[in-house]
Amino acid sequence: MISYHLSEGLRNISRNKLLTLTAIFTISVSMMIFGIFLILFLNLNLLHEGWGERIQITVYLKDDTDKDGLIKEIKKEKEVAEVIYTSKEKALAEFRKELGREKEVLDSIGENPLPASLDVSVKKEYRSSEFIEPLVETIKMLSGVEEVHYGEEWVKDLTSLLKGLRVTGLFLGSLLALGIIFITSNTIRLTLYARQEEIEIMKFIGATKGFIRGPFLVEGALQGFGAGVLSVLLLYLFYSIAAYGIDFRLPGFNPGFLALSALIPIPLSGFLLGLLGSLFSMGRFLK
Amino acid sequence: MIEMLNVTKYYDGNSTALVDVNLKVEKGEFIFITGPSGAGKTTLLKLLFYAEIADEGQILIAGWDLYKLSKRSIPYLRRNIGIVFQDFKLLTNMTVFENVAFAMRVVGTPYKEIRQKALNVLKLAGLVHKADDYPLRLSGGEQQRVAIARAVGNEPTILLADEPTGNLDNRSASAIIEIFKEINSKGTTVLVATHNENLFTSSGRRVITLDSGRVAGEGLR
Ligand SMILES: Nc1ncnc2c1ncn2[C@@H]1O[C@H](COP(=O)(O)OP(=O)(O)OP(=O)(O)O)[C@@H](O)[C@H]1O
Ligand SMILES: [Mg+2]
């Protein structure tokens, strides 16, 4: 009996090649949109981690501060990994190096205008704005601290962007899932209309609902599965093209593709959604 | 075998297709239902295989109250009823043989048996030489016989034939009646709806006459 459903389902597909191909393509495009979203999300996460390593809190000191006392104070905070001191003189020397040819500007000022500073690096597990911000507030309160700088803007932005993307992803994912169900059920409905008479005859001959439904379920599931496979292939193609461009623009950043564990669910969910889609359209049809 | 009690059927509210019809058909009987076009012959047959549902009254088939059966058991009821549709309803994308075999497959006949059984009914209908042709390439009379072959293929308990001699000449028509007699002789209860009086005059069979949805007459002819 299963072989009947299977071969009949395949026959439906080959009888309605154009319709099936259109459906597969449309479904795979919506799956691809979701895939692109996942890849974007994954890479922003990678970026977040990568930049996180470079998160540095720079503490500028008032002149004549007891730096050793201050370093000891800062090191007490659990988030802090390391503190490196830069003296006024060293800061000036580095600044001169950076300025290169234009260093005369500094010479004309005469007195060293640069403050001494501490570079505070943060332990890996605390590298997000929710930990860094309170830490910065604490450090600001310490005596001898003139000013504190850190990459506040983008840390905040990236963290909230990732949070937002997670919500959007959930929303987008469910929307696209509904879309896929809708597309399959519509395609199956068109096939059903084309074969309305055949179905009616089957009913009058004494075919059970399951017998009539089987081939259409196979058709829907295969459609969804095929679309899933196609979308993975398309995703990889687009990813390769995009990654090639990114390599030039962001040297040192290795864009990642979805892992196998994230790829396999795509055709599988296509299979299930296709099955659901055809089940929906059959439900109304077989009344 | 078949019992209709005070059956009334309306279509879409206004048009009344059957009014207060009472009918009893015994097991193994061969009856005709006649009447002018629009009298309700097709509707009566449709009620019997649950293609339409009566608005009032009761229908019993082999003792089963049709309207007390669960929806799930309808297909199994239909497997005991062979139907020759007024418009044949052959599948045009299948050959003659496939049309007959398909009906057998639908009801779960084992693959091994289908071929031989299908050939047997095609022989009965005189269609073996057309087995691999497609229905649309057959004459009206041949299509009619394919429809009959399909209907009798599963050896139904009841055979419902709606205008089975449609536009056929007298000789072809009586050939078809011969097929029905053969089926009937094996125990199948046969109901033939027709407005062709030649089919039943001096047949000695019971004839029910419908007019505007009412039973207008009943008797042996
Ligand atoms: N599906 C339908 N919807 C609405 N009215 C219908 C439908 N089928 C039949 N009727 C009406 O019901 C009445 C009986 O129709 P029915 O088909 O049973 O007649 P009949 O005796 O089979 O006629 P014929 O000899 O022309 O086949 C007619 O008035 C017809 O117009
Ligand atoms: Mg009719």
3-state DSSP of chain B:
CEEEEEEEEEECCCEEEEEEEEEEECCCCEEEEECCCCCCHHHHHHHHCCCCCCCEEEEEECCEEHHHCCHHHHHHHHCCEEEEECCECCCCCCCHHHHHHHHHHHCCCCHHHHHHHHHHHHHHCCCHHHCCCCHHHCCHHHHHHHHHHHHHHCCCCEEEEECCCCCCCHHHHHHHHHHHHHHHHCCCEEEEECCCHHHCCCCCCEEEEEECCEEEEEEEC
ipTM for the assembly: 0.88
| A167 and A275, same domain (yes or no) | yes
| A183 and A244, same domain (yes or no) | yes
Q: What is the mean pLDDT of residues A278-283?
A: 84
Residue B83 — very low, low, confident or very high, per pLDDT cuts 50/70/90? very high
Q: What is the mean pLDDT of residues A62-74?
A: 84
B contact residues 87-106, partner A, Cβ 8 Å cutoff = 89, 91, 102-103, 105-106
Residue A54 — very low, low, confident or very high, per pLDDT cuts 50/70/90? low
Which residues, in sequence order, are CB contacts of A133 under 8 Å at separation 6+? A152
What integer pLDDT is reported at residue A50 of this predicted model? 67
| A118 and A259, same domain (yes or no) | no
Higher pLDDT, A173 or B126: B126
Cβ separation A204–B49 shorter than 8 A: yes
Residue A252 — very low, low, confident or very high, per pLDDT cuts 50/70/90? low
User: Structural domain of residue A97, as residue ranges?
Assistant: 56-149
Mean pLDDT of chain A: 81
Q: What is the DSSP letter of A207?
A: -
Ligand 1 atom closest to the CA of B40, numbered from 1: 18
CA nearest ligand 1 atom 27, residue = B37
Q: Which of A106, A123, A149 is the last residue of a domain?
A: A149
Q: How many structural domains are present in chain A?
A: 2
Q: In the predicted model, is pLDDT for residue A103 greater than 70?
A: no
Provide the phi-psi class of A206: left if phi over 0, else alpha when psi is between -120 and 50, else beta: left
| A236 and A268, same domain (yes or no) | yes
Q: In the predicted model, is pLDDT for residue B129 greater than 80?
A: yes
Task: Kindly list the residues from chain B whose CB atom is less than 8 angstroms away from the CB atom of residue A4.
Answer: 105
- What six digits make up the tokens of B152? 């009798």
Q: In the predicted model, is pLDDT for residue A253 greater than 70?
A: no
What integer pLDDT is reported at residue B170 of this predicted model? 86
| A46 and A188, same domain (yes or no) | yes
- pTM value? 0.71
- What six digits make up the tokens of B212? 């505007």
Q: What is the mean pLDDT of residues B98-108?
A: 91
Residue B47 — very low, low, confident or very high, per pLDDT cuts 50/70/90? very high
Residues of A with CB under 8 A from a CB of B: 4, 197-198, 200-209, 211
Cβ separation B91–A201 shorter than 8 A: yes
What integer pLDDT is reported at residue A136 of this predicted model? 85
Q: Which of A103, A134, A149 is the last residue of a domain?
A: A149
Residue A141 — very low, low, confident or very high, per pLDDT cuts 50/70/90? confident
By Cβ distance, the residue of A201, A206, A209 closest to B107 is A206
> Could you count the other beta carbons within 10 Å of the beta carbon of residue B98?
17
Residue A24: its H or E element? helix A17-53
Q: In the predicted model, is pLDDT for residue A287 greater than 80?
A: no
| A178 and A270, same domain (yes or no) | yes
Residue A247 — very low, low, confident or very high, per pLDDT cuts 50/70/90? low
In this structure, is the dihedral angle defined by the CA atoms of residues A165, A167, A168 and A172, taken in order, positive or negative?
positive
Query: Per mean pLDDT, which of A55-59, A112-116, B212-216 is the most reliable?
Result: B212-216
| A201 and A123, same domain (yes or no) | no
What integer pLDDT is reported at residue A130 of this predicted model? 75
**CATH number of the domain bearing residue A100:** 3.30.70.3040
Q: In the predicted model, is pLDDT for residue B89 greater than 90?
A: yes
| A187 and A219, same domain (yes or no) | yes
What integer pLDDT is reported at residue A107 of this predicted model? 67
- The alpha-carbon gap from A212 to the nearest alpha carbon of chain B, in Å, equals 9
By Cβ distance, the residue of B51, B78, B85 closest to A206 is B78
| A131 and A247, same domain (yes or no) | no
Cβ separation A207–B75 shorter than 8 A: yes
| A43 and A104, same domain (yes or no) | no
Higher pLDDT, B165 or A133: B165
Please give the distance, rounded to the nearest whole angstrom, from the Cα atom of residue B29 to the centre of ligand 2: 21
B191 within ligand 1 shell (Cβ under 6 A): no
| A186 and A281, same domain (yes or no) | yes
Higher pLDDT, A50 or B95: B95
Q: Which of B70, B79, B106 to mutate to test the interface with A (most CBs of A within 10 A)?
A: B106
Q: Which of A87, A119, A149 is the last residue of a domain?
A: A149
Residue A97 — very low, low, confident or very high, per pLDDT cuts 50/70/90? confident
> What stretches of A148-264 show up as alpha helix (H) in DSSP?
152-194, 196-205, 209-249, 260-263
Q: What is the mean pLDDT of residues A227-245?
A: 87
What integer pLDDT is reported at residue A197 of this predicted model? 82
Return the ∠ at Cα B30 (arms to B5 and B2), rounded to 5°. 25
| A15 and A97, same domain (yes or no) | no
Mean pLDDT of chain B: 92
Tell me: the pLDDT tens digits for A148-180?
887 666 666 777 777 887 788 788 888 888 887
- The alpha-carbon gap from A17 to the nearest alpha carbon of chain B, in Å, equals 16
Q: In the predicted model, is pLDDT for residue A249 greater than 70?
A: no
